[in-house]
Chains A and B, each alone.
Chain A
Amino acid sequence: MGRKTIFFSNLREAGKPEQTETGKLMDWIANLLIPLIKSLILVIGLLVGFAYMTWAERKLCARFQLRYGPNRAGPFGLLQPVADAFKAIFKEEAIFGQVHSKVIYVIAPGISLAAALLAFAVVPVGPTINSFQVFGFQVPDISLHLAADVNIGVLYLFAIAGLGTYGIVLGGWSSNNKYSLLGALRTTAQLISYELPMGLAIVSVLLLSESLSLVKIVEKQAVLPFVVLQPVAALIYLICGLAETNRSPFDLPETENELVSGFATEYGGIKFAVFFMAEYINMIVVSAVTATLFLGGWQWPAFLADLHPLIAVGLFFVKTAFVLFLFVWIRASLPRVRYDKLMKFCWKFLFPLALVNLAVTAVVVALLPG
């Protein structure tokens, strides 16, 4: 093994007996450096995704309402997110309002953002790109996942999704404003309620995949995406995804006209922007997970995915973009629901429906041989 290869070698190859002291050192650097580079790419990628999601949403919503949308900053308004970012960064920063706890008030948006950024770690973006040569330099295998072999991927996603709630609750409580407090209470009740049908919908998928690893779930869908076998679960997951990301028609936490932005009433400048960022990144994550669990991820249709790893990655992004488009479409089409109906819909309809779907799936899987 040459030094360069060792430098890029994966965790699993670490600690081979024939390696020298320098080799071991290089391995440790690689073990730390490669995830670090991947983490940075992931964070930057999600931020760019967030920026252009805001642009795409404004543009699409405008089209749905026969407007132009942003079209001044750059061609097609493509530089609008950059302008918005600069505006948010140079805003006055202070603690407005008579807050309960300054520390909690300041770190609450950070908790939301960090939790949103973490969730994407286990989502498989594409297959491993095999070793190839560029200018006589041997590029080793590139795995496109940050943490490829986490065998509890689904559980991890579920856990991280729960963490985001803390940012909203703490932010709403520490603001010391009655609107914020009400918004935070509503959000908590909504988020935890919709977690139940969401979890049950995923269990139906697990019955088919027999694994909690998202990579294995994707591999199971090479022939048929799970949306065909589990249409009800897919629908429940999508609805809960809308509710979990506070998206219209379930954007009760914000309700501009009654709670003046709910938990974010007392937030301004970059702190508000960070909450906003977390919400959009969560949306991207939910879309990516929907694409992975139900639409076959990068694996389906196999005849396209097998051509080249990059085409497979493209498939994954097309599916994610499609789900994101659905989010915007739903926002442009549906009015906000009333809070009591929102809770009733979850506890009295979605939860039993998910249970029935799970029972039917379990019976069918048990009776069908193989």
Chain B
Amino acid sequence: MPIDYLPILILVIVALLFAALALLVPALLGPRKPTAIKFSTYESGKIPFGTTGRRFPVKYYLTAVLFILFDIEVIFLYPWAVVFKALKLFGLIEMGVFVLILLVGYFYVWRKGALEWD
């Protein structure tokens, strides 16, 4: 029932308010002594070099794409697991076929070296 989620909505409000307070109140209490060096980018005490607008490995992007694929698989498994006993052998074979198709993709990705980090 939707009404069961009312406590969660209330908790969302409480948690957001608390997070806002935790960030706001100390900002009012603390001292303020700004200096130029204090506001420069951190670099182990040296003068900062390089920007963040540089390239980063495509591996991270690939990981994200693979994650979406396999996470959807996992999410499909959730409702299946809950009604598994009612589906009996039919459910087992159906899900077996589904997972097998994904496994083909998984081994393809493995063989192509998409899971390597070097």
Interface residues of A (CB under 8 A from B): 11, 14, 31-32, 35-36, 38-40, 42-43, 88-98, 106-107, 109-111, 113-114, 117-118, 121-122, 146-151, 154-156, 176-182, 185, 188-189, 192-193, 195-196, 199-200, 203-204, 206-207, 210-212, 260, 265-266, 269-271, 274, 277, 339-340, 343-344, 347-348, 351, 355, 358-359, 362-363, 365-366
Contacts of B118 in A (CB 8 A): 340
Q: List 19 A-B contacts (CB under 8 A).
A: A43-B11, A93-B30, A96-B38, A98-B40, A110-B19, A110-B23, A147-B8, A177-B42, A180-B52, A189-B64, A195-B71, A196-B74, A199-B74, A203-B81, A210-B84, A265-B42, A266-B41, A270-B27, A366-B92
Chain B residues numbered 47-64 whose CB sits less than 8 Å from any CB in chain A = 50-52, 54, 56, 59-60, 63-64
Assess whether A203 is in contact with B77, with CB atoms less than 8 Å apart: yes
Most buried by B among A42, A260, A270, A271: A270
B26 nearest CB across to chain A (Å): 4
Give the residues in chain B near A204, CB-CB below 8 Å: 81
Instruction: List, in ascending order, chain A residues with CB within 8 A of B98's CB.
Output: none
CA distance A91 to B103 in the complex (A): 52
- Interface pair B30/A193, CB less than 8 Å apart: no
Residues of B within 8 A of A91 (CB): 26, 30
A347 to B, closest residue via Cβ: B115
* Also in contact, A88 and B64, with CB within 8 A (given A31-B6, A181-B52, A210-B85): no
Known contacts A93-B26, A192-B64, A210-B85: does B10 contact A35 (CB below 8 Å)?
yes
Chain B hits for A206, CB < 8 A? 78, 81-82
- Complex CA gap A358/B91 in Å reads 14
- Measured in the bound complex, the distance between the Cα atoms of B65 and A188 in whole Å is 12
Q: Does B104 contact A (CB under 8 A)?
A: no
B23 touches A146 (CB 8 A): no
CB nearest neighbor in B for A98: B41
Nearest chain-B residue to A179 (Cβ)? B42
In contact, A355 and B99 (Cβ under 8 angstroms): yes
Smallest beta-carbon distance B30→chain A, Å = 5
Contacts A43-B14, A114-B19, A179-B42 hold; do A348 and B110 have CB atoms under 8 A apart? yes
Residue of chain B at shortest CB distance from A181? B52
- Contacting pair B23 A150 (CB below 8 A): no
In the complex, chain B residues whose CB is within 8 Å of the CB of A347: 66, 115
Contact in complex: B29, A90 (CB < 8 Å) = yes
Chain B residues whose C-beta falls within 8 Å of the C-beta of A156 in the assembled complex: 8
Q: Which residue in chain A gives the minimum CB-CB distance to B13?
A: A39
Q: Are B78 and A109 in contact (CB-based, < 8 A)? A: no
In the complex, per-residue mask of B84-118: 1 if CB is within 8 Å of any chain A CB, else 0: 11001101100110010001000000100001111
How far is B79's CA from A211's CA once the two chains are assembled, in angstroms?
A: 9
Chain A contacts for B51, CB-based, 8 A: 178
Q: Assuming A150-B5, A204-B81, A347-B115, what are 14 further A-B pairs, CB within 8 angstroms?
A: A90-B29, A92-B33, A93-B26, A110-B20, A118-B8, A177-B41, A195-B71, A206-B81, A206-B82, A274-B19, A340-B118, A362-B92, A366-B89, A366-B92
